[in-house]
Structure 1
């Protein structure tokens, strides 16, 4: 008698791009313009038919750029606005940044550039008496807390445990929608080749002078060769909060309020496989930003932290000495970076390790950061969105035939599942992904581009380079709480209508 043991591997999916209101690719603005134009043309045709035909031609010229869209949903007007913005910034010199004694700012400090130029840092103590830093974004009146953790690896872990971690992580994300004032969260996974400083500081001081020469030679060789085959990985979670308008609160009150939330957030991360988790101090945040802009100082920072217990680095000196932004890259101190943005999530269902290759260290790169951006949606809005998608999917399924009808029926099934999960307490979250790769010179960017394309193929992701906005995209992948949707010139509601 033989028995078969079937191993069930859970799959995940059921994410969809938010449905754009309006007719086809026109969007809400284009649809309103079409119907409004038709009514106006009918009225004009009563007086003059040639004038009405001229108006129809002009309206077609205006509406065609709205209908032509790229894979990620951008129309011609948005592409044109991006190019105009680039030429304006290049014309006024904002694509070049110089700090320190030669910079334009007084004080001779090395402040971070771009979106981080006005950020200030405060520090408080959580209920466990651990120091934690708070980044204040005065332009948007946002406050960011950064948590650091060491996730448990997925190797030699039972599928049931992985499934439990994923479920707990989903519960943690669903909880964010109920966090008062939370505007968004980002998870940053940073990888880099091991500098060897930590191993050397641990091993070399323990080698005694009277040790056998053979044993001494072996330990010294291990310290010398081991870093070439190893890497370091850091995980940061940045939570950004907004203070409701009309409430006059001091900085001390805000820091105390954020301190009371940290223990609950840390408990959820530990249950989701995050491993040991703790908030980052103001000094530690400054060190992370400093190393991102100047990868050469990574070993110096580690040495100072091990030998002296800290670097004493302040936020005012965490930035680069000079940066130059080009249409396809971002040059900063000892590195050159390129950032990619998500255009399409994996289609269908995936397994829990779908992003493993993308998150692992990439050979030939100085540093790599992958940022998962989340925008939690409150329960009331989630229910409204779910019901709207459900009705739209049912309408499309009843109005189409053939292969399209089969896809529409699959869409109905997905919306029904989403509605059922939302009704039982699941949260609705908008997410995106960005990846930044840093190399030593411009000549290595092409190889890095090939490496990223290979990694994206394994992860079943579609991403595009953040051309003409590399500096801003670089800031979004840092654990500093920069949320892209909070810094757009066009309001998010109007952008969705386009």
Structure 2
């Protein structure tokens, strides 16, 4: 018998980089222009008198200092102050409260979803295989979203080579999204919750015969009663959001027909990337997912109705909560209280394929947990410009630094060169972020939930911060409903990057 002494190698992944902000040092483009512009004006004013120069120089410094002070995730003092002002304005107007239903002042007296989803409408179509799929129309931004559900193959007892193939196929699927016409963004939401045992009870208890032995009956009933306490349910949703060119409107029926043609190809790519069985979600199923997210206590009732009647008959206009309250650090909605965290720093260096496994697994002590990965594909032309700009900026930093700074800059050069080579070979460029929402039964449990998330992010080698003063919007972004954060900002993304 021959034995191999060759070392087993496990593939590693990485080379993601935070988009480089143009500008001088901690300043963005606006700050850099302010520095040079202020110096020029100060020099011109000094020709008049020293007092005039000081009168110009002091306001320039006062304007630039807040741009120099930045948090870990790159926000400056102006952005922090703007966030607090917006929160105080919403509280003054009462926008942090929401009440719906027959006794509310909402038109129609129904339970429409709140906030960013209040103006969303639902339509339904059928793909080439006759499967129904729901289409969410975000009227305010003229966006259309479809939701795909899948049951991913687990990573346990799978060869590393097969995992590497799945990762490569997933990368190809993401790269393909940059060629999808009018695609604005995509999200992958992994939702976990304790298993209420409804499905198991409906499968086992009706099959027990009346003349079954007492011991056998007792064993089966004990299994049905104890199994849910140690098990959980997991659902994975992929949402794709498409937009229309500015000033152009298309009939909803035409958009649904266009999306119906694309769905089979998208599902085939997911299956090849380890997505398991995949299918589009119907309008009723999307409404059920939304209803359970806002009111976790109805999850067993929804499962009972689907198992007994084949569906709930729930409509989108009744998928929202009866009442919600947003606070600085939490979002209260019907039978749950949620808090959302935002990614501030991706893992440095290389990681293995299981880096997020702990974060995706069910967390004890929580009612529901959602991990949302948000993707913004970049078209090939823009990708080429970005990677070339990053490569030039990294080379300039490496040639102008010293010591440890120069060593880190050399690492940046290697990463930028590798990114440019992969992009030239056909790889896609995608901006991504991660959000985590944890739902518990009461506000008193939020402290324990925060400790759980802190431990999970440490194991995943990432850094996150709570979405304070915007918990309601962040909660909505982690739902598989096609809400893309960058599409709902007041300041254009280009100007934000310049800050």
Residue aligning to 2:490: 489
**1:453 and 1:364 mapped to 2: Cα distance?**
14
Q: Secondary structure at the match of 1:146?
A: strand
Aligned equivalent of 1:270: 271
State the Cα deviation string for residues 341-362 of structure 1 (Å, max 9, x = none). 0000001100000000000000
Gaps of 5+ in 1: none
1:44 to partner: Cα distance: 1.6
Q: CA deviation at 1:40?
A: 1.4
**TM norm structure 2:** 0.99
For residue 296 of structure 1, what is the aligned residue in structure 2? Answer: 297
- In 1, the alpha carbon distance for the partners of 2:271 and 2:4 equals 38
Distance 1:203 1:426 in 2: 49
2:100 paired with 1:85: no
Q: Report the counterpart of residue 476 of structure 1 in structure 2.
A: 477
Q: Which residue of 2 aligns with 1:234?
A: 235
Per-residue CA distance 1:218-251 (angstroms, 9 max, x = gap): 0010000000000000000000000123444211
Q: What is the CA distance between 1:38 and its match in structure 2?
A: 1.3
Q: Provide Cα deviations, 1:130-178, integer angstroms capped at 9, x if missing partner.
A: 0000000000000000000000000000000000000000000000000
Segment drifting more, 83-92 vs 103-112: 103-112
1:24 paired with 2:7, answer no
Higher alpha-carbon deviation: 41-50 or 109-118: 41-50
Task: Provide, for residues 73-119 of structure 1, a one-character-per-residue CA deviation record: whole Å limited to 9, x for no partner.
Answer: 00000000000000000000000100001222121100000000000
| TM alignment of 1:62-101, pairs within 5 A | 62-101=63-102
TM alignment of 1:108-187, pairs within 5 A? 108-187=109-188
Match of 1:200 in 2: 201
Q: Secondary structure at the match of 2:109?
A: coil
Deviation by residue 1:357-394 (Cα, 9 ceiling, x = unmatched):
00000000000000000000000000111111111111
Task: Check whether the contact 2:190–2:371 (CA below 8 A) recurs between aligned residues.
Answer: yes
Could you tell me which residue of structure 2 aligns to residue 453 of structure 1? Answer: 454
CA contact (8 A) 2:331 2:471 kept: yes
8 Å contact from structure 2 (residues 173, 270) kept in 1: yes
Distance in 2 between residues matched to 1:393 and 1:60, nearest whole Å: 28
Q: Which moved more, 1:303-312 or 1:392-401?
A: 392-401
**Distance in 1 of aligned mates of 2:464 and 2:248:** 41
Residue 322 (str. 1) matches residue 330 (str. 2): no
Give the corresponding residue for 2:409: 408
* Alpha-carbon displacement from aligned partner over 1:267-320 (angstroms, at most 9, x marks no partner): 000000000000000000000000000000000000000000000000000000
Hey, what's the Cα distance between the residues in 2 that align with 1:163 and 1:222? Answer: 37
Q: Are the counterparts in 1 of residues 145 and 482 from structure 2 also a CA contact under 8 Å?
A: yes
What is the deviation of 1:205?
0.6
Q: Which runs of 5+ in 2 are unaligned?
A: none
* DSSP 3-state at the match of 2:313: coil
Match of 1:189 in 2: 190
Match of 2:107, SS state, is: coil
Counterpart Cα distance in 1 of 2:4 and 2:429: 42
- The answer for the alignment partner of 2:307 in structure 1 is 306
Instruction: Give the Cα–Cα distance (whole angstroms) in 2 for the partners of residues 48 and 406 of structure 1.
Output: 46
Cα distance between partner residues in 2 of 1:46 and 1:458: 60
Report the alpha carbon displacement of residue 3 of structure 1 after superposing the two structures with TM.
4.3
Question: Residue 375 of structure 2 aligns with which residue?
Answer: 374
Measure the CA separation in 2 of the matches of 1:263 and 1:392.
Answer: 41
Correspondence list, 1:2-17, <5 A:
3-17=4-18
Distance between the aligned counterparts of 2:497 and 2:393, measured in 1?
A: 17
Q: Check the 8 A contact 2:41/2:56 in 1, yes or no.
A: no
CA distance in 2, matches of 1:68, 1:307: 59
How far is 1:2 from its partner?
A: 6.8
Q: Which moved more, 1:101-110 or 1:445-454?
A: 101-110
Shift of 1:411: 1.0
Q: CA–CA distance in 2 between the matches of 1:47 and 1:243?
A: 55
Hey, what's the Cα distance between the residues in 1 that align with 2:273 and 2:348? 25
Q: Secondary structure at the match of 1:26?
A: coil
Q: TM-score, normalised by structure 1?
A: 0.99
The 10-residue stretch of structure 1 (43-52 or 209-218) with the greater mean CA deviation from structure 2? 43-52
**Cα RMSD for the two superposed structures:** 0.9
The number of equivalent residue pairs is: 498
The separation in 1 between residues aligned to 2:18 and 2:409, in whole angstroms, is 15
Structure 1 residue 406 displacement after superposition: 1.3
